[in-house]
Amino acid sequence: MKQIDDLLNDSIARGAFPGAAYCYGNESGYVIGMVGSQSVVKGSPKVSEETRWDLASVTKVMSTTMGAICAVRDGLFELDDLVTKILPESKLKGATIRNLLLHDCGLKAYDTLTSVKDSSEARMRILTSTPTAKPGEKTVYSCLGFINLMTIIERTSGMNLGAYVGSKVHEPLGIDAMYCPPPHLIPKCAPTEETPAWRRNLAKERGEEWSIGEYIQGSVHDPIAYVLGGLSGNAGLFAPIGGVAKYLQALAANHEIFGGLLPQFIKNQGTETRALGFDTKSPTGSSAGTKFGPKSYGHTGYTGTCVWVDPDRKVYAALLTNRVHPKDADMQITAIRPKFFDLAFEAATS
């Protein structure tokens, strides 16, 4: 753990991020640690077990993919069901739910919705997006696809994504994770970047000026997720390091809650490095480093978060930072992640 702390403290000194929390472990237990402060602001609280992190795209695996697993387990839909069967307004003709999970449904990666005031209008714009490729033709990592997937889960379950995944996965496993942290938890959330003018304007339009400060804090950093109201299939989940550790422990143990479906979701599908919802380890240059095995799976998040699981060794680790604070410019995290995961793997297997 000292080597990990030294790596992260040195990264803080270099300005990579103001603070970090991490975990490593196996199916029987885990270790957590934390370094630095929540913010660059003088007097900012030290990072603690209670610090909540904007997980960004780690939401895709810790929430949306979990929702898909539970929906399949419970018979709400099948992976090869057509998207249009559940979303008749969709233009994804011929695309399946499997295509959404594999990021080869044909949708573009992202959409700038910062000028859209109404969350319902924003969602409809996404759900009726015109594809740029045929299903299965090419892999394009798409936030839009996961918002379609969220809507499929919601329509078939009759619950919003946060409530469904909370009731089916997070609450049964004792995982502390949530969308839209309530006011009393906002001070415990690690801030991200400086609040841009468009967010200030949108908050004013929605009568939510109270939620805006110098930095984005306790509110999702991702623009689409923010326009949608904070709950989205592509981003928006907040969790302390302990919540992430419990989630990874359940994955490493292939917990019965996944209904025996996890192995097919974490297997590389031969489409670049994509599994169903998860990313898998690339042969070179992986954020997972060099120690995690070739069947390892995980995901990164734009704000500076990352999780990896090695199913053969049943080892896992997570690094949570707010590398976009105070400004979204520094990318030292790219070089830090593989070093961290090598050290975490060694610690978890020693």
Beta strands in the chain (DSSP E): 19-26, 29-36, 53-54, 178-179, 237-239, 279-280, 297-301, 305-310, 315-321
Higher pLDDT, 117 or 297: 297
Residue 209 pLDDT level (bands cut at 50, 70, 90): confident
Say how far apart CA 252 and CA 128 lie, in whole Å.
37
pLDDT of residue 270: 77
The CA distances from residue 250 to 112, 173, 209, in Å, are 35, 8, 39
Cα 46-240-224 angle, rounded to 5 deg: 105
Instruction: Please name every residue paired with 310 in a beta bridge, in sequence order, or none if there are none.
Output: 315
Higher pLDDT, 209 or 107: 107
pLDDT digits (tens, 9 = 90+) for 154-187: 999 999 999 999 999 999 999 999 999 999 999 9
For the chain, how long is the longest CA-to-CA vector?
A: 55
Neighbours of 235 (CB within 10 A): 31
Question: What's the mean per-residue pLDDT of the chain?
Answer: 97
pLDDT digits (tens, 9 = 90+) for 224-247: 999 999 999 999 999 999 999 999
pLDDT of residue 271: 64
Please report, for the chain, the start and end positions of each structural domain, with discontinuous segments joined by +.
2-52+173-349, 64-169
Residue 210 pLDDT level (bands cut at 50, 70, 90): confident
Pick the CATH number of 2-52+173-349 from 3.50.50.60, 3.40.50.300, 3.40.50.1950, 3.40.710.10: 3.40.710.10
pLDDT of residue 342: 98
pLDDT of residue 272: 84
Residue 296 pLDDT level (bands cut at 50, 70, 90): very high
pLDDT of residue 211: 84
pLDDT of residue 153: 99
